[in-house]
Chain A
Amino acid sequence: MLSIKNIHANVEGKEILKGINLDIKPGEVHAIMGPNGSGKSTLASVLAGREEYEVTEGEVLFSGKDLLELSIEDRAREGLFLAFQYPVEIPGVSTTNFIKAAVNEKRKYQGLEPLDAVAFLKMMKEKMAMVEIGQSLLSRSINEGFSGGEKKRNEIFQMAMLEPKLAILDETDSGLDIDALRIVANGINKLRTPDRSILLITHYQRLLDYIQPDYVHVLYKGRIVKSGTKELALELEEKGYDFITESIDQSANV
Chain B
Amino acid sequence: MKEDLNLLEQAAQNDYKYGFVTNIDTDTIPKGLSEAVIELISKKKNEPEWMLKWRLKAYAHWLKMEEPTWPNVKYPPINYQDIIYYAAPKKKEQLNSLDEVDPELLRTFEKLGISLDEQKRLSGVAVDVVMDSVSIATSFKEQLSEIGVIFCSISEAIQQHPDLVKKYLGSVVPMTDNYFSALNSAVFTDGSFCYIPKGVRCPMELSTYFRINAENSGQFERTLIIAEDESYVSYLEGCTAPMRDENQLHAAVVELVAMEKAEIKYSTVQNWYPGDKNGQGGIYNFVTKRGICAGNHSKISWTQVETGSAITWKYPSVILKGDYSIGEFYSVAFTNHHQQADTGTKMIHLGKNTRSRIVAKGISAGQSNNSYRGLVRASKQATNARNYSQCDSLLLGDQCGAHTFPYIEVKNKTAIVEHEATTSKIGEDQLFYCRQRGIDAEAAVALIVNGFAKEVMNQLPMEFAIEAQKLLAISMEGSVG
Bound Cα distance A50, B431 (Å): 10
The stretch of B215-223, B317-325, B437-445 in contact with A is: B437-445
B451 touching A90, Cβ below 8 Å: yes
Interface check B5, CB cutoff 8 A: no
1/0 per residue, CB under 8 A from B, across A106-117: the answer is 100100000000
A162 touching B432, Cβ below 8 Å: no
A84 touching B451, Cβ below 8 Å: no
B454 touching A92, Cβ below 8 Å: yes
A82 touching B436, Cβ below 8 Å: yes
A73 touching B451, Cβ below 8 Å: no
Q: Which of B436, B450, B452 contacts A76 (CB 8 A)?
A: B436
1/0 per residue, CB under 8 A from B, across A46-57: the answer is 001111100000
Bound Cα distance A17, B438 (Å): 25
Q: Knowing A98-B447, A105-B440, say if A92 contacts B455 (CB, 8 Å).
A: yes
Bound Cα distance A89, B432 (Å): 12
B451 touching A105, Cβ below 8 Å: no
Complex contacts, A129 vs chain B, CB 8 Å: none
Q: Knowing A88-B427, A88-B429, say if A73 contacts B455 (CB, 8 Å).
A: no
1/0 per residue, CB under 8 A from B, across A88-104: the answer is 11111100011101100
Q: Nearest chain A CB to B349's CB is how many angstroms away?
A: 30
Interface check A141, CB cutoff 8 A: yes
Interface check B453, CB cutoff 8 A: yes
Q: Nearest chain B CB to A151's CB is how many angstroms away?
A: 11
Complex contacts, A87 vs chain B, CB 8 Å: 433
Interface check B465, CB cutoff 8 A: no
Q: Nearest chain B CB to A111's CB is how many angstroms away?
A: 14
Q: Which of B428, B439, B440, B452 contacts A92 (CB 8 A)?
A: B452
Bound Cα distance A49, B454 (Å): 30
Interface check A165, CB cutoff 8 A: no
Bound Cα distance A162, B434 (Å): 13
Q: Nearest chain B CB to A166's CB is how many angstroms away?
A: 13
Complex contacts, B428 vs chain A, CB 8 Å: 52
Q: Knowing A88-B430, A90-B433, A91-B452, say if A76 contacts B447 (CB, 8 Å).
A: no
Q: Nearest chain B CB to A51's CB is how many angstroms away?
A: 8
1/0 per residue, CB under 8 A from B, across A61-88: the answer is 0000000000111011100011010011
A102 touching B452, Cβ below 8 Å: no
Interface check B92, CB cutoff 8 A: no
Complex contacts, B448 vs chain A, CB 8 Å: 90, 92-93
Complex contacts, A91 vs chain B, CB 8 Å: 451-452
Least CB separation from A78: chain B residue: B438
Bound Cα distance A102, B451 (Å): 15
Interface check B44, CB cutoff 8 A: no
A93 touching B437, Cβ below 8 Å: no
Complex contacts, A99 vs chain B, CB 8 Å: 437
Bound Cα distance A76, B438 (Å): 5
Q: Which of B427, B432, B435, B437 contacts A98 (CB 8 A)?
A: B437
Q: Nearest chain A CB to B331's CB is how many angstroms away?
A: 15
Bound Cα distance A77, B452 (Å): 26
A106 touching B452, Cβ below 8 Å: no
Complex contacts, A93 vs chain B, CB 8 Å: 447-448, 450-451, 454
| Most chain A CB inside 10 Å of its own CB: which residue of B435, B437, B450 | B437
B438 touching A92, Cβ below 8 Å: no
1/0 per residue, CB under 8 A from B, across A164-185: the answer is 0000000000000000000000
Bound Cα distance A106, B438 (Å): 6
Q: Nearest chain B CB to A253's CB is how many angstroms away?
A: 38
Q: Knowing A98-B447, A101-B443, A105-B440, say if A92 contacts B435 (CB, 8 Å).
A: no
Count residues of chain A with CB under 8 A from any CB of chain B: 32
Complex contacts, A202 vs chain B, CB 8 Å: none
Complex contacts, B453 vs chain A, CB 8 Å: 92
Complex contacts, B438 vs chain A, CB 8 Å: 73, 76-77, 102, 105-106, 109, 162
Q: Nearest chain A CB to B131's CB is how many angstroms away?
A: 32
Q: Nearest chain B CB to A213's CB is how many angstroms away?
A: 23
Q: Nearest chain B CB to A109's CB is how many angstroms away?
A: 7
Least CB separation from B454: chain A residue: A92
A72 touching B429, Cβ below 8 Å: no
Bound Cα distance A48, B448 (Å): 21
Interface check A205, CB cutoff 8 A: no
Interface check A158, CB cutoff 8 A: yes
Q: Which of B435, B437, B441, B452 contacts A162 (CB 8 A)?
A: B437
A72 touching B432, Cβ below 8 Å: yes
A50 touching B447, Cβ below 8 Å: no
A105 touching B455, Cβ below 8 Å: no
List residues of A (20-73) whose CB comes within 8 Å of B's CBs: 48-52, 71-73
Complex contacts, A89 vs chain B, CB 8 Å: 430
Least CB separation from A83: chain B residue: B436
Complex contacts, A49 vs chain B, CB 8 Å: 435-436
| Most chain A CB inside 10 Å of its own CB: which residue of B428, B429, B438, B441 | B438
Bound Cα distance A141, B454 (Å): 11
A102 touching B433, Cβ below 8 Å: no
Complex contacts, B434 vs chain A, CB 8 Å: 90, 98
A92 touching B436, Cβ below 8 Å: no
List residues of B (399-439) whose CB comes within 8 Å of A's CBs: 427-430, 432-439
B429 touching A73, Cβ below 8 Å: no
A101 touching B447, Cβ below 8 Å: yes
Bound Cα distance A80, B143 (Å): 57
Extra contacts besides A81-B436, A97-B447 (11): CB < 8 Å: A52-B428, A73-B435, A73-B439, A88-B427, A90-B451, A92-B451, A92-B453, A102-B439, A105-B439, A105-B443, A162-B438
- Nearest 9 Cβ contacts at the A-B interface: A92-B451, A93-B451, A102-B437, A88-B433, A76-B438, A72-B435, A105-B438, A92-B454, A77-B438
Interface residues of A (CB under 8 A from B): 48-52, 71-73, 75-77, 81-82, 84, 87-93, 97-99, 101-102, 105-106, 109, 141, 158, 162
Sample (22) of A-B pairs whose CB atoms are under 8 Å apart: A51-B432, A72-B435, A73-B436, A75-B436, A82-B436, A88-B430, A89-B430, A90-B430, A90-B447, A91-B452, A92-B454, A92-B455, A93-B448, A93-B450, A97-B447, A98-B434, A101-B439, A101-B443, A102-B437, A105-B438, A105-B443, A109-B438
Interface residues of B (CB under 8 A from A): 427-430, 432-441, 443, 447-448, 450-455
